[in-house]
Amino acid sequence: MDLHDALLEKLKEIYELLKEGKEVKIRLSSRGFLNIRFDEVKGLIKLGEKLSEREFFNAAHVRRFVQTILVASRVIKLLESGKHASQREMYYQLKHHLPFSKENTFECEAETIKAIEDLERLFRGKAIREQFHITADRRGALFGDIVIVDKSIPGEFAEFVPAKLGRGGWAIPSTIEEIEIKDINADYVLVIESAAMYERLIEEGFPKKSRAILITTQGQASRGVRRLLNRLRYEYNLPIIVFNDCDPWGFYIYFVLKSGSMNLAYLSEKLAIPDAKYVGMCLEDIKRYRLTNVLEKLKEVDVKRAKEMLRYPWISRFEEWKRELSKMIELKVRLEQQALASKSLEFVAEKYLPEKIENKIFLP
Amino acid sequence: MDLHDALLEKLKEIYELLKEGKEVKIRLSSRGFLNIRFDEVKGLIKLGEKLSEREFFNAAHVRRFVQTILVASRVIKLLESGKHASQREMYYQLKHHLPFSKENTFECEAETIKAIEDLERLFRGKAIREQFHITADRRGALFGDIVIVDKSIPGEFAEFVPAKLGRGGWAIPSTIEEIEIKDINADYVLVIESAAMYERLIEEGFPKKSRAILITTQGQASRGVRRLLNRLRYEYNLPIIVFNDCDPWGFYIYFVLKSGSMNLAYLSEKLAIPDAKYVGMCLEDIKRYRLTNVLEKLKEVDVKRAKEMLRYPWISRFEEWKRELSKMIELKVRLEQQALASKSLEFVAEKYLPEKIENKIFLP
């Protein structure tokens, strides 16, 4: 599907109808709570078939309708020029005063984001913001023995190996649609919540010894990281293994990577990795590695979060995760990645990860 | 100064005194508010000459005393092994139960951080945490036509050009002490608050056209970014120009880069760049570039922050900044980098920055 032509076609159609004074509406995937469902076969959070209609000749709809059209017309220009814009740039590009009225096209960035999401929903999740050349916030870094080719800078050809960039690694950009991977000298991807652990494993020479590509999300994964992981899994056939803190936040980061999020449910096919595995940290580690002395107390708000997570069908379908979360609620403790340093700095790279990964001691 | 030997010497001395049951104390730069002063000649926030004493045979001091010694002894091992540890790893490595007591050595990471800072203050700011091989959080990316050599990974030699890494650039690590720069094909460094603007300038080919190295801080600059900028300025003689949002937060990020912070006043010589210049955004831009229609409202908490900043001598000594802040308090508006997109996506790279940088239209 050529997005540019599809969008142009759509806008022309609307224009013709409006010119004739006819009723105009657009249909988008409904993102209401009732339309969010969990696809057990695919293991993905998805939107159902329900559609929302937005009509031009409807006082309650017209503002959002026009905003979506404004974003669409801007996207056509982006695609024609080959340029990308951040959502904040989109906001400032499109914000203007409407003549003969007291209205601005957009009052705040949040309105622009909603209109961008509308555009994604207009395509029922078959196209993502990045394909419209709208970029999201970037975060995260990659270290590994692969050859990346990035043709996205006009006139510049970039080809590089992120394992040859010292301790730093490659800063993962907001958009990775135009990236190709040529050679892969690694067996799997290890996704790591904290940048400090990523640096630990680099220092220990873990990527080479274990033939791993390391990616740190630095907290919740950015869209760029999620899309990159999805491509590494399904285009380049690399297993994805996740290594987070043992607390509701670390678990949740994992499940967003694995099953998608309710907020962006219409994009799960492009962003999620349903067969990702979780190597740790988990409460089972306490006994296995004698870590009772480095447990930290869980806050009440985290206990509440753990209880909520137990109610999500994409989590509770796994007995192992039900057990982990129930135990966490009972013991009210958390266990961080860095707690492994209480054994020794090398422990995580020489014992913990090799033992668990070689013997496939994963949570699903 | 060999830090390893200096530390070992210090610890041996303390050990000998303790063995003989003699009084032991260590002297550190006092970080009390009264000891913070602004060095007008150097343009740096610094600690004065006042010292704090910490005694072993003093119930109020002994806990912190022991914690500092524990950190020091661990640092000796780090320096001997050549390894680095994050502050969170230090916490878990040192946390243990004291026999015959109800006490733990450390109760939380904050205590570890204080002990690490004590060690820096013991050296009166002549040595920084990174030289003790203790790493801080990382954040930020670099794009530019320079050759970086990083010898910090055992057995790996890394040499690369961050302008050849596509849109991503190089992820700036937490420690850049072991980095050398071989070739520099650039005239200055442009520091940018937002990653989206950094990506915009890369897309526009700005680094090549303007012979600039781009660094995005992604908000408040990490210690790694601050140290890297300090080295780029004083070891490699590159001017530093800062490009932030026009709001108290953007201004404050600039002044921490330029003059140091009250919190880490004892480290200003290693981290700050007193002759950094500020290219924008500023309120003067509103008229110069006709940006009245893209102003955003300032929150009350930001107005309060602007008033506070007016009272800092390292800010108020500049008439230009007094004018900016007073005007901001009066108008209660902010102006973001991305607001330039209201002109066109190219505007910032083709007009705004070249015009201001070539004509040296800077705030001091």
Q: What is the pLDDT of residue A272?
A: 97
What letters, b where the CB count within 10 A reaches 16 and e where it falls short, cover B209-244? ebebbbbbbbeebbbbbbbbbbbbbeeeebebbbbb
Give ranges for CATH 1.10.10.10 in chain B.
3-135
Do A196 and B137 lie within an 8 Å CB cutoff? Answer: yes
Which one-letter DSSP state was computed for residue A184?
A: E
Query: In a 3-state reduction of DSSP, which class is residue B266?
Result: helix
Give ranges for CATH 3.40.1360.10 in chain A.
141-358
Q: Decide: B7 and B72 in contact? Cβ < 8 Å.
A: yes
Do B205 and A170 lie within an 8 Å CB cutoff? Answer: no
Rounded Cα gap, residues B259 and A92, in angstroms? 32
Establish if A148 touches chain B: CB-CB under 8 angstroms. Answer: yes
Q: What is the pLDDT of residue A85?
A: 96
Which comes out higher in pLDDT, residue A52 or B320?
A: B320
CB-closest option in A89, A97, A172 to B168: A172
Residues of B with CB below 8 A from A159's CB? 164
User: In the CATH scheme, what architecture does the domain B188-358 have?
Assistant: 3-Layer(aba) Sandwich (3.40)
CB contacts < 8 Å between A and B, how many? 188
Q: What is the pLDDT of residue A251?
A: 98
Q: What is the pLDDT of residue B273?
A: 97
Q: Does the annotation mark A312 as catalytic? A: no
CATH topology of domain B3-135: Arc Repressor Mutant, subunit A (1.10.10)
Token couple for A140:
């995260």
Establish if B165 touches chain A: CB-CB under 8 angstroms. Answer: yes
Query: In a 3-state reduction of DSSP, which class is residue A129?
Result: helix
A67 Cβ contact partners less than 8 Å away, ≥ 6 residues apart:
A94, A105, A106, A111, A112, A114, A115, A118
CA A167 to chain centre: 24
For residues B303-321, give the mean pLDDT. 96
Q: Report cis status (omega within 30 of 0) of the bond before B281.
A: yes
Q: Which residues of chain A have pLDDT under 70?
A: 1
Establish if B101 touches chain A: CB-CB under 8 angstroms. Answer: no
Question: What are the pLDDT digits (tens) for B328-357?
Answer: 999 999 999 999 999 999 999 999 999 999
Strand-pairing partners, residue B104, are B97
Q: Report cis status (omega within 30 of 0) of the bond before A281.
A: yes
Instruction: Name the band, by pLDDT with cuts 50, 70 and 90, for residue B1.
Output: low
Q: What is the pLDDT of residue B362?
A: 98
CB-closest option in A137, A160, A170 to B171: A170
Task: Tell me the percentage of chain B whose pLDDT exceeds 70.
Answer: 100
CB-closest option in B195, B339, B342 to A138: B195
Q: How far is B338 from chain A (nearest CA, A)?
A: 5
Angle at B312 between CA B310 and CA B318, to 5 degrees: 70
Q: How far is A359 from chain B (nearest CA, A)?
A: 26
Establish if A247 touches chain B: CB-CB under 8 angstroms. Answer: no
Residues of A with CB below 8 A from B225's CB? none
Q: Could you say which of B92, B252, B278, B289 is catalytic? A: B92
Task: Reply yes or no on domain A141-358 having CATH 3.40.1360.10.
Answer: yes
Mutate to test the interface with A, among B77, B83, B153, B200 (most CBs of A within 10 A): B153
Nearest CA in chain A to B215: A171
Nearest CA in chain A to B77: A345
Question: What are the pLDDT digits (tens) for B164-210?
Answer: 999 999 999 999 998 999 999 999 999 999 999 999 999 999 999 99
Which comes out higher in pLDDT, residue B168 or B97?
A: B168
Question: What are the pLDDT digits (tens) for B230-274?
Answer: 999 999 999 999 999 999 999 999 999 999 998 888 889 999 999
Give ranges for CATH 3.40.1360.10 in chain B.
188-358
Q: Decide: A71 and A115 in contact? Cβ < 8 Å.
A: yes
| pTM: predicted TM-score of the whole model, two decimal places | 0.93
